Chain A
Amino acid sequence: RKEVEQDPGPFNVPEGATVAFNCTYSNSASQSFFWYRQDCRKEPKLLMSVYSSGNEDGRFTAQLNRASQYISLLIRDSKLSDSATYLCVVKRGDQFYFGTGTSLTVIP
């Protein structure tokens, strides 16, 4: 069973739409949780950490449900520049485990 599972998409949404991505993780001992963003043919970059209380950064809101082992990312008012692959990441000990990513294309 994979450590981190994500719906690969693709998600094609119009500008201004709200879109949500989900992810589940298999090991309850996972300690830290993140969303990374990877543009086409570029390296992944940290988008935001995810806390149990939920956290927001501008148009982006992340949620963590430890009981269900479920992580989400909500993007409001989508911009063309949000088009990318969004990677769900969990950390346990020194190891980071990546999901395969969810592809988002925002259409004008």
Chain B
Amino acid sequence: DTAVSQTPKYLVTQMGNDKSIKCEQNLGHDTMYWYKQDSKKFLKIMFSYNNKELIINETVPNRFSPKSPDKAHLNLHINSLELGDSAVYFCASSPTTRPGELFFGEGSRLTVL
């Protein structure tokens, strides 16, 4: 069973389009994250939710909007895609009992043409 699953794994789209990436975790964790890994392999936090509440909202363009319908799901919607949005987007979750450990999904590779 996949612990943190993201869909789609690959996404190729045109500039200006709107797209969503979905994330689900079946680990019972309270905290979920979205990270962006750019071409230089730098992993940068975008958002974090704890039990459906937004707790971290880094300096991210407001074209990016996270949504957490319940604590097992954290989706990312991106409006008006730009070339610079091309990256791998990782979802992760973290247990309250072991807050130091991040469990990552396999990543969603977004290419904007």
Report whether chain A binds chain B.
Answer: yes
B101 touches A46 (CB 8 A): yes
Enumerate chain A residues within 8 angstroms of B106, measured Cβ to Cβ.
42-43
- Tell me which of A91, A95, A100 contacts B41 (CB under 8 A): A100
Q: Which of chain B's residues 34-83 have a Cβ closer than 8 Å to chain A?
A: 35, 40-45, 48, 50, 55-56
Chain B contact residues (Cβ within 8 angstroms of A): what range?
A: 20 to 34
- Tell me which of A38, A43, A91, A100 contacts B40 (CB under 8 A): A100
B100 at the interface (CB under 8 A from A): yes
Minimum CB–CB distance for B94 against chain A, Å: 8
Given contacts A43-B90, A43-B106, A95-B45, 5 further A-B contacts (CB under 8 A): A94-B56, A98-B35, A98-B43, A100-B40, A100-B42
Binding site for A on B (CB under 8 A): 31, 33, 35, 40-45, 48, 50, 55-56, 90, 99-102, 104-107
